[in-house]
Structure 1
Amino acid sequence: MRIALLLLTGLLSFGAQAAPLPLATFDRSHWPEQLDSPTLFDVASRAEILAFAQALHASEALDEPALAARLGLKQVNLASIDKVRQRLWQQLWRNYDLAQQSCEQDASFCYVIDGVAELRRQAATFEVAADSFYAGWTALSRSFHERYLNELLRKAALFPQTASEVERFSDLERDGNELNDRLFMLTFDAGPGAGTAALADYLRRQKLGATFFVLGNSLQTRRDKTSLADLRALYKGQCVGIQGWQYRSHGQWQDWQGSVMRSQARVQADLPDQYVPLFRPPYGQRRADSQGFFQGQGLQVVLWNIDAQDQGALSAEQSAQRVLTLMLLWRRGMIQFHDAQSKAQEAVAWLLGQTSQSGIGWEDCRQFAGKS
């Protein structure tokens, strides 16, 4: 009976979702300026904010059938979509207000905007002249933001039946939006894997500390094949959170609590100096009523607001370019890479090179976790 119910649930879920939407990617070479000063970071940030706001505004004209068709779904949760849209508008206004503080130094993409209502009006008419210095950026940026918005709205349309990082279940969950302006944090999922050693060594050489969310079974396999000393050397100077015993949905798995507790015990025992009490749910999927359990375990749920999509077909540079565009849009946040992918190091190196003079900062992983 239980197996039949699970199969039925899976079929219903499959029936509600069609093929994956095209991923948002953007070739940053079409932006005509290097981000070699805080002011130029703000110029690019204002441009991306306005472009995304335009896509968001246009999407609000779609009725439910048109929106479902655009998102490749049979039905959508309009209440969830509206809630996410309202939050996005507030974040866009906050970010634009921060980005316009440098308008006296460079007035590109500066308009008289003093709140969400004015931002919405500006978004409705936003355009870049054909002979503008930024004309080559316009069409490709529009495509990127329409695709990226589709990614967010699709997740919102399925929330909370299918949980994801698009929305928090409580204020106790963290997703990077609580960081200060221009402050970002590197995180890596689903390790340890093929790329972990080289990546961790690279980060140490850059004097950066990231949070690696590890799988209990992968960590145990790594220790058994090498040694406990090698395992501790692998993550030296880094922070290690947990992602469960296996990479599978902790929203549907009957043994999700056991998965969390086993992986927590494994990391605390093997990596006591690197362990931080943070849990990242695979796929962002966790139960709506799970907060009490995580509090009881002394864990915080950590999501993300900037995803590299590096676990699929994107190249390292494409992933990094996507991340940089989203950094300009959100101006703060939790960046999700996957260290099981060997291309993660290449992507991070590209990203650091592009932002080295832009005035951004990198959050210390121990400080974020509240561990001195």
Structure 2
Amino acid sequence: MFRTGPGKRRGPAVAILAAASLILLLGGCGVDPVSPGEARREAVDTDSKGGASEGGAVDCAAVKCIALTFDAGPGKDTPRLLDILREEKVPATFFLLGRKHVDRYPEVVRRIADEGHEVANHTWTHRVLTGLDADEVRDELSRTQNAIEKITGRKPTLMRPPQGRTDDTVSEVSRELGLAQILWSVTAKDYATTDAALIRQRTVDGAEGDGIILLHDIYDGTVPAVPGIIGDLKRKGFTFVTVPQLLAPAQAEPGTVYRP
């Protein structure tokens, strides 16, 4: 349904994902994004008063961290991606799509969790949430929450709104469901090309400290690009972390939008 490339049909879902590089301009809708650095500094300030949570194993205030994230899976190539991440000792955050993904590949969802990656929510059918009412937003998110919990025993605490589009209603429902909203700083636009070298170049060129990389493990060019991306960024001094590790010692607050 999602696969694209030479000779492959683009379905409606691909048209939706093709706009994934568009981050909603949040000003004016009552949603103020928080950067990872701001979240960490606030947690440290709170900790000095005895109220913050303990930090993670990686201190992203001291080292150049970057979070590798994958949207809209799992898919047929996700097991190979997990092999690569295990070989490279790199953690990642997976924003999983419910219909025809979580429900089709439960063993892969279980493996993602078992191997220490962060399992997160990318809605049930990838509808743009800002066009829905509160009940519809709740259905899109809660169905995926429940499906993931059934497989892993744990509901996600992070979600990524399709196309990065959010508003007050989405934020309120996310808060209700215990979900923080995670946007990104760089995307390779891997929905528009099968050229692994180009995906690698775009990702590496856009990488920066405290960054969040958006890729999709459902496109043919993406997984082959990952070893090169990891190697290049390691040579540039980056440390790979999950999104919660990027925010630590802060904990992601439900409803809050995080964007580098």
Asked if these proteins are the same fold (TM beyond 0.5), I'd say yes
CA–CA separation in structure 2 for the residues paired with 1:310 and 1:324:
13
Q: Is the 8 A contact 1:276 1:366 kept in 2?
A: no
Q: CA deviation at 1:316?
A: 1.4
Structure-2 change in CA distance of 1:363 and 1:212 (3 Å): same
State the TM-score, normalized to the length of structure 1: 0.49
Q: Which residue of 1 aligns with 2:170?
A: 290
- Note if contact 2:190-2:199 (Cα within 8 Å) is conserved in structure 1: yes
The alignment's C-alpha RMSD in Å is: 3.2
Residue of structure 2 in register with 1:279 after alignment: 159
> What displacement does 1:185 show?
0.4
Aligned 8 A contact 1:280 1:301 in 2 = yes
Larger Rg: 1
Shift in CA distance, 312/161, structure 1 to aligned 2, threshold 3 Å: farther
TM score, norm. by length of structure 2: 0.68
Contact 2:120 2:157 in 1 (8 A): yes
What is the CA-CA distance between 1:320 and the residue it aligns to? 1.4
Q: Check conservation: 2:36, 2:246, Cα contact below 8 A.
A: no
Residues 322-347 of structure 1 deviation map (CA, whole Å, 9 limit, x = unaligned):
111111xx433100000112322222
User: Partner residue of 1:203?
Assistant: 85
2:200 is matched with 320
Superimposed CA distance per residue, residues 150-191 of structure 1 (whole angstroms, 9 cap, x where no aligned partner) = x88xx67xx45999xxxx9224x5678866462100000001
5+ residue gaps in structure 2? 1-17, 40-59, 253-260
- Distance in 1 separating the partners of 2:210 and 2:108: 34
Q: Which has the higher helix share?
A: 1
> After superposition, where does 1:165-180 map in structure 2 within 5 Å?
169-171=31-33, 180=61
The percent of aligned pairs where both chains have the same amino acid is 25
SS in structure 1 at match of 2:158: strand
| Structure with greater strand percent | 2
Shift, 1:199, TM fit: 0.4
Q: Note the C-alpha offset of 1:231.
A: 4.2
Query: What is the Cα deviation at residue 279 of structure 1?
Result: 0.6
Residues 176 and 284 (structure 1), Cα distance of their counterparts in 2 relative to 1, 3 Å cut: farther
Which sits farther off after the overlay, 351-360 or 316-325? Answer: 351-360
Alpha-carbon distance in structure 2 between the residues aligned to 1:264 and 1:176:
28
- CA–CA separation in structure 1 for the residues paired with 2:37 and 2:83: 25
- Deviation at residue 243 of structure 1 after TM alignment: 0.7
Q: Secondary structure at the match of 1:304?
A: coil
Query: Does the 8 A contact of 2:137 with 2:173 survive in 1?
Result: no
SS in 2 for 1:169: coil
What is the match of residue 233 of structure 2? Answer: 355
For 1:360 and 1:170, the matched residues in 2 are separated by 27
Classify the secondary structure of the residue corresponding to 1:310: coil
Q: Is the 8 A contact 1:214 1:241 kept in 2?
A: yes
Give the structure 2 partner of residue 245 of structure 1: 124
2:153 counterpart SS class: coil
1:311 alignment partner in structure 2: 191
Equivalents in 2 of 1:175, 1:337: separation in Å? 19
Counterpart of 2:99 in structure 1 is 217
For 2:144 and 2:35, how far apart are their aligned partners in 1? 20
**Aligned residue pair count:** 207
Q: Which residue of 1 aligns with 2:13?
A: none
| Secondary structure in 1 matching 2:236 | coil
* 2:115 pairs with 1:233: no
Q: Could you say if the C-alpha distance between residues 256 and 174 of structure 1 is closer, same or farther in structure 2, counting changes exceeding 3 Å? A: farther
Please tell me whether the aligned partners of residues 222 and 231 of structure 1 are also in contact (alpha carbons under 8 angstroms).
no
Q: Secondary structure at the match of 2:175?
A: helix
1: CA distance between counterparts of 2:145 and 2:223?
26
